[in-house]
Every structure is written in C-alpha cells, then in structure tokens.
Amino acid sequence: MTAPTQTRPPAPRRRPGQAREGAHRQAAGARRRRAGIVRLAALLLSPTLLALALVVGYPVLAALRLSLTVTEEGINPETGLIERSSELGTKNYTDGFQGDTGDRFLNALWNTTTFTLATGALVTVIGVVMALIMSRAFRGRGLVRAAVLVPWAIPTVISALLWKWIFSTDGVANDILNTKILWTTEGFQAWLAVVIADTWKTAPFIGLLVLAGLQLIPAEVYEAARVDGSSAWRTFWRITLPLVKPALVVAVLFRILDLLRMFDLPFVLVGPRKESVETLSVLAWDEMSNLRFGPAAAYAMILFVYIAIVAYVFVRVLGADIIGRGVQGRK
C-alpha cells in the first residue's frame, strides 16, 4: 500500500473543431484548461479556506500579534487611573527565559514535559496491556470493555474532583497506603497524584484504539507463528507490536498532544499557582486572569510551537499516519 493516490485529471472536454487546430494551439488550450481546473478547484475550496482562515488563521495571527504587544502600565498618581501604552516587541518572549517570570515559565515547561513523558509512557504500556486483555475471548469480555471505558467517559473535571477526594488527607489513598501524605500540597507527591489520575483516565483511550488495531491482525499470522514454534513473548514483539504500530503511534500522538496542553486535572486536583504541577496552559491562564494578555499569548504561542514540533517529529520519525495514507513500511 505504498502507491500514493493521485487525483486523476478529468477527461478533457472535446470541443468541435479542436482537432483541426495546430499543435501549439492545442498545447495552449491544454494549459488554459488546466488553469481553468485549478481555478475551479480554488473556487470550490475557497469557502473551506475562508472558514479555516477565520477559525484557525485569524486566532493564531491575533495571538501572535498579541504576544508581540508589549504593554507598559502605570497609575496616574492623581486620579488613580491606569494608563497603558503598548508597542510591538519581543519582551514577552524574552521574559519567559529570564528573571522571576523566566523561572516560572521554565518550571511550567518542565512540568508540561515531565507530565507528558511520564504519563505518556505509563498510558502506552497500560493501554497496550488493556488491549491485549480485551482482545482475548473470555466470559464477560463485554463487561470488561465497558468497564474500561468508564474513566474515559467521565469528564476530566469530574474525575479530578473524584481523585481530589481520594487524595484528601483522610481519603482512600492514605487509608490504603496507611500513610498521612498531604497529596495536594506542593511537592513531588502532587505531581505524582496528577500522573496517577491522568493515567487512570486516559489509558482506556490507548487501550481502545490499540484494540481496534489488534482486531485487524489476521489470525493466520498468529497461526503461522505458532506453527513455527514462536514463544508468546516473541510473537508479541515480532508480530503483534509491528502490526499494531500504526494504530498505536496515532493513539499515542493524540494522547501526547492532549498531555502537552493539560489544564483541568492539575488545576482542579491540586489547584492553580502550585509550582509543582503548574503547566504551560495553567500559566497562560493565570497571566491572562491577571490581565497580562501579552505574556499569556506569548506562552500560548510557545506551547503551540512546542506541540507542532512534537507532532512533526511523530509524523516524520515514527511515521504516525494521521491523514489516512495507509500503512507505510519503514525500515
């Protein structure tokens, strides 16, 4: 399935008398027709392009412009009114890497990255295990599949509240562990609490997408492996994983893009302005709520670029197939 699908040019309309014309005129006619087709394509696409420009292009451009707007404000000592002046500049970006604001931004970048790596790895492993279990035929399989879906179906804010109860001082987590950990206070435990809650919530997502991939693997392949005397472990590494990889990579990519913009879980479970769990999204929100729209937009733009780079790496290096070109063999 390596051949890219090409748009076949429509059969040229034959006009009477065309055949009698000279070859150069024919060529010119073909060019004109091609141009006509392109024009028609552009015309037909223009509503979509316009819509995209309005709902994607404009917000991105507006955010970019806002992020380059540096606002100075002062209070008029007589009336007490705020006076603002703004100019274009890159201060909002450079502030993200120096001084107090820099510490805070880099900390948020670090948290965003560590959350993504830790949770991403955990959900991938657990999700694959879930899928392997769910793909087996056993009694009550439907029930297991439905049960696994429940965490995914619960809105994140609600699950954050549920976990907040679990992680409260006199909550279930401390009861089971027989500890008195203050989970939601600053520190590593708050970070861990978010990772646990997010893994619980999103591993089923990976599990289901991988399950769909698993069910596409023909039974004959496994049969052949069995005939050749391959061990279960070897079968998994040499057959299951390579064949399920396209589905897995796309699922993990989606998950990671979600993780990079994580907001609601740390915000509700631990709270805003907590250093140990502040992500880039939370930081941008906090700057915005304090009316510093420029820095907020700058942080959002950096996050946008960060996500774009990660997505690009996934598509290029791991061959994530997100637009349905089909499975590409990469050696």
- The CA distance from 94 to 294, in Å, is 12
21, 25, 27, 49: which one binds other proteins (CB under 8 A): 49
Distance of closest approach, residue 281 Cβ to other proteins, in angstroms:
15
Stretch near other proteins under the rule CB under 8 A, chosen from 70-78, 109-117, 252-260, 312-320: 70-78
Other CB atoms closer than 10 Å to residue 29's CB: what's the count? 14
**Residue whose CB is less far from other proteins, 21 or 83:** 83
Query: What are the tokens at 164?
Result: 């907040």
Query: What are the tokens at 182?
Result: 């203050």
Residue 310 contacts residue 261 (beta carbons within 8 Å): no
Using the rule CB under 8 A, is 74 a contact of other proteins?
Answer: yes
Distance of closest approach, residue 143 Cβ to other proteins, in angstroms:
36
Nearest to 112 by CA among 307, 245, 312: 307
Q: What CA–CA distances, in Å, run from 324 to 32, 124, 315, 319?
A: 33, 22, 12, 12
83, 103, 175, 223: which one binds other proteins (CB under 8 A): 83
Ramachandran region of residue 88, left (φ > 0), alpha (ψ -120 to 50) or beta? beta
Residue 95 contacts residue 219 (beta carbons within 8 Å): no
Binding-residue pattern over the window 129 to 168 for other proteins, x denoting contact by CB under 8 A: ---------------------------------------x
Query: Exposed/middle/buried for 240, CB within 10 Å: 0-12, 13-18, 19+?
Result: buried
Binding-residue pattern over the window 13 to 42 for other proteins, x denoting contact by CB under 8 A: ------------------x--xx--xx--x
Q: What is the DSSP string of 165-214?
A: HHTSTTSHHHHHHT----TTSSSHHHHHHHHHHHHHHHHHHHHHHHHHHH
Using the rule CB under 8 A, is 4 a contact of other proteins?
Answer: no
19, 85, 142, 330: which one binds other proteins (CB under 8 A): 85
Distance of closest approach, residue 31 Cβ to other proteins, in angstroms:
7
Restricting to residues 291-330, name those near other proteins by CB under 8 A: 291, 293
Nearest to 295 by CA among 111, 90, 100: 90
**Residue whose CB is less far from other proteins, 245 or 274:** 274
- The CA distance from 36 to 30, in Å, is 9
Restricting to residues 163-222, name those near other proteins by CB under 8 A: 168-170, 180, 182, 184-186
Distance of closest approach, residue 208 Cβ to other proteins, in angstroms:
34
Other CB atoms closer than 10 Å to residue 140's CB: what's the count? 8
Using the rule CB under 8 A, is 79 a contact of other proteins?
Answer: yes
Distance of closest approach, residue 27 Cβ to other proteins, in angstroms:
12
- The CA distance from 274 to 164, in Å, is 15
Size of site (CB under 8 A) for other proteins: 48
**Residue whose CB is less far from other proteins, 57 or 242:** 57
Restricting to residues 256-295, name those near other proteins by CB under 8 A: 271, 273-274, 289-291, 293
Interface residues toward other proteins, by CB under 8 A:
31, 34-35, 38-39, 42, 45-46, 49-50, 52-54, 57-58, 61-62, 65-66, 69, 71, 73-75, 77, 79-86, 168-170, 180, 182, 184-186, 271, 273-274, 289-291, 293
